[in-house]
């Protein structure tokens, strides 16, 4: 009985990938690298047989016109369509029969989004964003998020008052310099505001980039602990009360980086359509970015948040943030991580429009 239940559980995780090109390979890599493991790839189906001896060939089960026979053989729970060119190639009858039999037929982009909690911006066309569910700013939802943010900020300042005083004193005793670090960041619609943080670095003696990896030697002794547990962000509760930020949203970037990101990262301007946050989905799922490729990877998570933004997602992010504050989980600023699966060409213009918000004079709000 236990063995039968285990077989049923394993079968419910089996994924058959329709396609064997770059998109299919990237999807399979995501599935196999996901932690904890959620799905198992049982094979691929494509009319073009991959080169013998390659991993793609080892997974290949046959051509598209043999899909019905292959389904009877491998019994997948999911069929993920990752064909680069679908014109006259989709085995529609076999896919329809599979759906009737209870198998889930899903597009590769949708499956990847659900699995990884991020959007594959390099494969998204503007029409997909226009027609996709989500990406809507509802007045009522914005008001609720704002009210929750104000109440949360007031409660946070009331309960954390003694902690804020202790941290401020520790910062002053640990190193010379001001207690707070105030930096111009890009807010909603790209408008700049002064973001408040506890100072965690020694003052720079020469001009440096904004990347954390280029400033590791400047981090103070107390700064390492404040950054690990994100306690340096607590003064931003004041920014929330000022209206600059919400508790949850995409993290605001320095205005000095705004113009570069607008040019290099596809759809970057969509970040400015919502109020930035003290914490966010990208910050929790990915952490700090230290180069353009990693900022692009974080943008995938930001787009996911903007698409699926809701009170329940905000509450989930807040709970995950509490775990970070209490245990330092996921807060390491420079850590070894897997490179993005399909990184864009670094320092090449974004292939998709940045969709920059503009003012009444038509000029983008960037520095």
Summarised one tens digit per residue, pLDDT across range 219-278 is 999 999 998 888 999 999 999 999 999 999 999 999 988 888 999 998 999 999 999 999
Last residue of a domain, one of 293, 308, 327: 327
Residues in the chain: 367
| Number of domains observed in the structure of the chain | 2
Q: Are residues 146 and 106 in the same domain?
A: no
- Whether 42 is covered by a domain: the verdict is yes
Q: What percent of the chain has pLDDT over 90?
A: 55
pLDDT at residue 208 in the model: 61
pLDDT at residue 55 in the model: 84
Q: Are residues 162 and 19 in the same domain?
A: no
Q: Are residues 304 and 179 in the same domain?
A: yes
More confident residue, 251 or 342: 251
178 Ramachandran zone, left/alpha/beta (phi>0; psi -120 to 50): beta
How would you class 303 by CB atoms within 10 Å of its CB: exposed for 0-12, middle for 13-18, buried for 19 or more? buried
**N-terminal to C-terminal alpha carbon distance within the chain:** 65
C-alpha 145/C-alpha 143 separation (Å) is 5
Q: Are residues 145 and 51 in the same domain?
A: no
User: Is the pLDDT assigned to residue 97 strictly greater than 80?
Assistant: yes
- Whether 342 is covered by a domain: the verdict is no
Which residue, 211, 182, 208, 232, is CA-closest to 295? 211
> Which pTM does this prediction carry?
0.79
Q: What contacts 145, CB < 8 A, 6 or more positions away?
A: 246, 248, 275, 311, 314
Last residue of a domain, one of 84, 116, 148: 116
Q: Are residues 222 and 298 in the same domain?
A: yes
pLDDT at residue 42 in the model: 95
- Whether 343 is covered by a domain: the verdict is no
- The number of CA neighbours under 13 Å toward the Cβ of 111 is 27
Contact (Cβ atoms closer than 8 angstroms) between residue 19 and residue 81: yes
- Which CATH number goes with the domain that contains 55? 3.40.50.20
Q: Are residues 111 and 158 in the same domain?
A: no
- Whether 94 is covered by a domain: the verdict is yes
- The pairing of strands 180-186 and 192-198 is antiparallel
Q: Are residues 48 and 144 in the same domain?
A: no
Q: Are residues 313 and 231 in the same domain?
A: yes
Give 185-231 pLDDT, tens digit per residue: 999 999 999 999 999 998 877 666 666 666 777 899 999 999 888 89
- Whether 333 is covered by a domain: the verdict is no
User: Which residue segment(s) compose the domain that 197 sits in?
Assistant: 139-327
């Amino acid at each position: 009985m236990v063995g039968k239940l285990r077989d049923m559980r394993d079968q419910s995780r089996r994924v058959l990938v329709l396609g064997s090109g770059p998109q299919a390979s990237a999807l399979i890599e995501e599935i196999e690298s996901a932690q904890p493991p959620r799905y198992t790839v049982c094979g691929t189906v494509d009319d073009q047989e991959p080169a013998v001896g390659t991993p793609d060939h080892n997974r290949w089960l046959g051509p598209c016109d043999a899909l019905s026979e292959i389904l009877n053989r491998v019994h997948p729970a999911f069929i993920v369509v990752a064909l680069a060119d679908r014109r006259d190639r989709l085995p529609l009858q076999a896919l329809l029969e599979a759906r009737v039999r209870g198998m889930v037929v899903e597009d590769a982009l949708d499956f990847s989004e659900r699995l990884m909690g991020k959007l594959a911006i390099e494969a998204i066309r503007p029409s997909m964003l226009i027609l996709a569910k989500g990406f809507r700013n509802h007045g009522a939802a914005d008001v609720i998020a704002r009210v929750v943010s104000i109440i949360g900020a007031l409660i946070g300042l009331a309960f954390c008052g003694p902690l804020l005083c202790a941290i401020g004193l520790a910062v002053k005793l640990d190193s010379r310099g001001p207690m707070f670090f105030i930096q111009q960041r890009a807010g909603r619609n790209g408008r700049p505001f002064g973001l408040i943080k506890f100072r965690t670095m020694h003052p720079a003696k020469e001009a440096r980039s904004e990347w954390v990896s280029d400033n590791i030697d400047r981090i103070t002794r107390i700064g390492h602990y404040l950054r690990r547990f994100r306690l340096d962000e607590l003064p931003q509760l004041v920014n929330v009360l000022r209206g600059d930020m919400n508790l949850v949203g995409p993290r605001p970037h320095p205005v000095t980086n705004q113009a570069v990101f607008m040019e290099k990262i596809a759809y970057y301007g969509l970040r400015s359509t919502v109020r930035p946050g003290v914490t966010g989905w990208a910050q929790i799922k990915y952490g700090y970015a230290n180069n353009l490729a990693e900022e692009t990877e974080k943008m995938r998570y930001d787009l996911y948040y903007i698409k699926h933004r809701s009170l329940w997602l905000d509450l989930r992010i807040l709970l995950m943030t509490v775990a970070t504050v209490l245990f330092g989980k996921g807060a390491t600023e420079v850590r070894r991580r897997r490179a993005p699966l399909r990184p864009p060409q670094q320092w090449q213009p974004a292939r998709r429009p940045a969709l920059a918000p503009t003012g009444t004079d038509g000029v983008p709000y960037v520095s």
